[in-house]
Amino acid sequence: MINTNETKEQKLNNTPIDELKNENEKLQHELEIANAKIKWYEEQFKLSAAKKYGKSSDKVDDSQISFFNEAEVTQKPKTQEPTLEKITYERSKKRGINKASFEDLEVETIEYSIPEDQCFCETCNSKIQQMSTEVRKELKIVPAKISIVHHVRKVYVCKSCNESGEKNPVVTAPMPEPVIKGSFASPSLISYLIYQKYSCALPLDRQQRIFNDFGIEISKQNMANWIIKTSELWLEPLYERLKRELLKETFIQADESPLRVLTKDGKDSSSKSYMWLYKSGNYGKKISLYEYTPSRSGKNPKNFLQGFSGFLQTDDYSGYNSVENVTRVGCLAHARRYYTDALKALPKEAQIESTYAHAATKFFKEMFILEDKYKDFSPDERLSLRQSQLKPIFQAYLSWLQEVQPKVVPRSSLGKAISYSLSNWDLITNILRDGQCELSNNAAERQIKPFVIGRKNYLFCKSPHGAKASAISYSIVETAKLNGLNPFYYLKYLLEELPNTRLSDEGSLDHLLPWSKTLPQECRKEIKEQK
């Protein structure tokens, strides 16, 4: 019987050294590949967990602390226990309510006094006199008051002509046109519905329940029909007017987000629909427009931005390459986000070390700190400062990218971060070409956020008509906010004026634009959003 072990040993001894070396190198290479795969899967797992359970942004304001982990987040073990005096002082400084916002409110005064026949001293029975007053202030809220308005138009006729047999002309008193003919929906009611849904993210079914609670039965179907009809008849012409003004700008930011839209039979559409956002920069007219499309095709921004020639800032989605006669501008926040994802994927013990990802984020931190100093400057001033101060940092970052890229695994999170910056370098550095350009596309992302919040509440649009009406309504509401207007009062004014405006006349809408100086003061009661 042959000894197997001895046979293997003999075979090993008889194998040439070169073959053994080659076999060893092959096994070493396979091991490196296996380790790289394991590392990549670990990174993906950590990153997935961070996205699911961690913070949703690479940069979170300190004031935006999660309600559920406030104690853990704010805990500082090395911080000394404050004294009672310090606690008292800090508490006294906090202001829970901005009382300055009460100045324009209507004041109702209720006086409390002792009846005249009881104004006697309990000790000596002498008459007592008022010495001073004590005042307690409260905020009183009155639920929405709903009433019926009868529009009564009088008709006149000439009695003399009637008696003499002459042609009898009938004269009617002028009366404003309704928003929707044959409907009892008023400008204020429709404005309220639009404001509640598109500014406060309150779905129509919840609004229906609120009306029912106050004894008013209005179906959500009626509400939806009113919004769609109003958008088609009156708001769309203003939307198109705003679009013409937007295309005159020289800098636009864009973003897009998915949307579920049902077909006519109530089933899910076969393709994923999208809501697009196009926003002007900080130096032109303040305009924010939304557009619904049934796909994410590049032809959508191409068609919408037809006639625009300037700088277009977006993320790296290739669909925007279809837009003609524009200069694409990248986003440094997206480039930075790749490095923050890489940091999230690292083991905890590695995050405190000097890693490549940490080194990269220092470049971005320096860029954004400098850019913050330019925010109040003119475009020309910003451009000059960027060329002298920001450009050297860009060049240093590029040198660092070229040096580090060969040292990292391409498929790792860090490798993807480096590859993103290098592949989008031309787009990113276009920031240095014009002072209107921003370092990031965050303004557009913030502008599309109201839609994203609303989508979480009402989940989908029941039809393409509803989706288009939503896009128009969001556009009017958000553009009003950008111009310091109260969306409700602005909408109410529009729906009072537009049915009585000859829309075919050139310039007929100029006095209704959100920056018009002739808007009533009521529209300028700005709603201050929480920061």
Condensed to tens digits (0 to 9), the pLDDT of residues 359-408 reads 999 999 999 999 999 989 999 999 999 999 999 999 999 999 999 999 88
pLDDT for 463 beyond 60: yes
Residue 158: predicted pLDDT: 85
Asked whether residue 438 is assigned to any structural domain, the reply reads: yes
Mean pLDDT of 403-428: 91
Residue 465: predicted pLDDT: 87
pLDDT for 5 beyond 80: no
DSSP 389: I
pLDDT for 434 beyond 80: yes
Residue 506: predicted pLDDT: 79
Quick check: helix, strand or coil at residue 531? coil
Asked whether residue 65 is assigned to any structural domain, the reply reads: no
Residue 83: predicted pLDDT: 40
Mean pLDDT of the chain: 83
pLDDT for 334 beyond 70: yes
Residue 420: predicted pLDDT: 95
More confident residue, 136 or 285: 285
Helices (H), 77-186: 84-93, 159-164
Quick check: helix, strand or coil at residue 279? strand
| Rounded (10°) angle between helices 332-345 and 413-423 | 170
Q: Are 263 and 269 in contact (CB under 8 A)?
A: yes
DSSP 142: -
Domain count, the chain: 1
Residue 13: predicted pLDDT: 60
Asked whether residue 191 is assigned to any structural domain, the reply reads: no
Q: Which of the four pLDDT bands, split at 50, 70 and 90, describes residue 92? A: very low
pLDDT for 215 beyond 90: no
Q: Which residue has the tokens 């800098």?
A: 251
Q: Which residues does 361 contact at the CB level (< 8 Å), separation at least 6?
A: 336, 339, 340, 343
Taking CA atoms, 396 is separated from 154, 404, 424, in Å, by 78, 12, 16
Q: Are 197 and 453 in contact (CB under 8 A)?
A: no
Quick check: helix, strand or coil at residue 252? strand
More confident residue, 426 or 348: 426
45: Cα separation from own chain's centroid: 29
Q: What's the rounded Cα separation, in Å, for the pair 340 and 362?
A: 11
In this structure, the strands spanning 251-261 and 311-313 are parallel
pLDDT for 22 beyond 70: yes
| Phi and psi torsions of 312, nearest 5° | -115, 115
More confident residue, 108 or 10: 108
- What would the two tokens of residue 218 be? 């209005």
Q: Which of the four pLDDT bands, split at 50, 70 and 90, describes residue 90? A: very low
pLDDT for 60 beyond 90: no
Other Cβ atoms closer than 10 A to 111 = 5
Look at the pTM and tell me if it is higher than 0.85: no
Helices (H), 306-436: 332-345, 348-351, 356-373, 379-385, 391-404, 413-423, 425-429
Q: Are 198 and 474 in contact (CB under 8 A)?
A: yes
Asked whether residue 236 is assigned to any structural domain, the reply reads: no
Using CB atoms within 10 Å of the CB of residue 114, give its burial: 0 to 12 exposed, 13 to 18 middle, 19+ buried: exposed
Asked whether residue 103 is assigned to any structural domain, the reply reads: no
More confident residue, 525 or 236: 236
Q: What domain range is 308 assigned to? A: 299-445
pLDDT, tens digit, 9 for 90 and up, residues 136-189: 888 888 777 788 899 999 988 888 887 777 777 788 999 999 999 999 999 999
pLDDT, tens digit, 9 for 90 and up, residues 94-118: 555 666 667 778 888 989 898 988 8
Asked whether residue 247 is assigned to any structural domain, the reply reads: no
Asked whether residue 229 is assigned to any structural domain, the reply reads: no
Lowest pLDDT segment from 112-126, 194-208, 234-248:
112-126
Q: Which of the four pLDDT bands, split at 50, 70 and 90, describes residue 422? A: very high
Asked whether residue 383 is assigned to any structural domain, the reply reads: yes
Residue 75: predicted pLDDT: 42
Residue 71: predicted pLDDT: 36
The one-letter code for the residue type at 442 is N
Measure the CA dihedral 350/351/354/360, to 10°.
130
Cα R_g (the chain), whole angstroms: 33
Residue 66: predicted pLDDT: 35
Residue 268: predicted pLDDT: 63
Whole-number percent of the chain with pLDDT over 70: 78
Mean pLDDT of 221-233: 95
Q: What's the rounded Cα separation, in Å, for the pair 4 and 328?
A: 69
Q: What's the rounded Cα separation, in Å, for the pair 301 and 315?
A: 13
185: Cα separation from own chain's centroid: 30
